[in-house]
Copies of this chain bind each other. A is one copy, B any other.
Amino acid sequence: MYSELKEKVLEANLKLPRHGLVTFTWGNVSEIDRASGILAIKPSGVEYDQMTANDIVIVDLDGELVDGRLNPSSDTATHIEIYKAFPEVGGVVHTHSRNATIWAQAGLDIPALGTTHADYFYGDIPCTRRLAKNEITQDYEKNTGLVIVEEFALRHINPMSVPSVIVAGHAPFSWGKDAGDAVHNAVVLEEVAAMAIATRSLNSGIKIQQELSDKHYLRKHGANAYYGQH
């Protein structure tokens, strides 16, 4: 049962070490089945090279265990808030990939500085506010999700146009139409985060032209996209 979803989520998790996004067991990927309202997620603290589809845990949107013999990722409650607030999201990934985490630690948005960024992210990648003390001591992982959702609402950002966020003092979350797409966006996030650090060291005030951002985002996304084989 859920074996197809578990396989997909296993495969997406295994892409994290392949793309150099994780150290040890850090990082986790989930995918939701919107029809049945359940999600499959990596177990907590299990090594990637020993993980099997059977280790993937199934929970519902209240975080209740549906299937599996291991504890789900400790970040499950964050994934759930993202799925609940962003109905088009089908997969979520959390990593501590080096360069995106550097921006999170610095507490700064990752600025849109070039077309590599614009091909995937329509505008700056937001950094959340810091969580308040009580948001940390109680229901921390759920509140991490809520502060992400709050940031997109306050800034009127469409989460499908900017499919990543960095949480202040912590690390990035990315998402996509499914688990594989979420990991794809996490790889791009890490690359644009690395480029942005050095770009700003060379030219501290630089930004991408708005019309160039529009062009690159829209030639890959939306009704008139002409990149790729569609």
Task: List residues of chain A with CB under 8 Å of any chain B CB.
Answer: 23-26, 43-46, 70-71, 74, 96, 98-99, 101-108, 113-116, 130-131, 133, 136-137, 140, 169-171, 184, 187-188, 191, 194-203, 206, 208-209, 211-212, 214-215, 219, 226-229
- Contact (Cβ within 8 A) A101 B116: yes
Chain B positions within 8 Å of A74 at CB level: 219, 226-227
Would you call B202 and A106 a contact (CB within 8 A)? yes
CB distance from A26 to the nearest CB of B (A): 8
What CA separation (Å) do A105 and B24 show in the bound complex?
27
A114 contacts which of B105, B188, B191 (Cβ < 8 Å)?
B105
> Which chain B residues border A70 with CB–CB below 8 Å?
229
Decide if A212 touches B136 in the complex (CB within 8 Å).
yes
Name the B residues within 8 Å of A103 (CB-CB).
202
A140 x B202 contact (CB < 8 A):
no
Name the B residues within 8 Å of A133 (CB-CB). 209, 211
- Residue from B46, B115, B170 within 8 A of A170 (CB atoms): B115
A146 to chain B, nearest CB (A): 15
Q: Do B195 and A98 touch across chains, with their CB atoms under 8 A apart?
A: yes
**A44 and B187 alpha carbons, distance in the complex (Å):** 20
Residues of B within 8 A of A25 (CB): 228
A216 to chain B minimum Cβ distance, whole angstroms, is 8
Q: Which of B106, B202, B208 contacts A102 (CB 8 A)?
A: B202
Residue of B nearest to A96 (CB): B116
Task: Give the residue name and chain of the B residue nearest to A135 (CB).
Answer: B211
A102:B195 contact, CB within 8 angstroms: yes
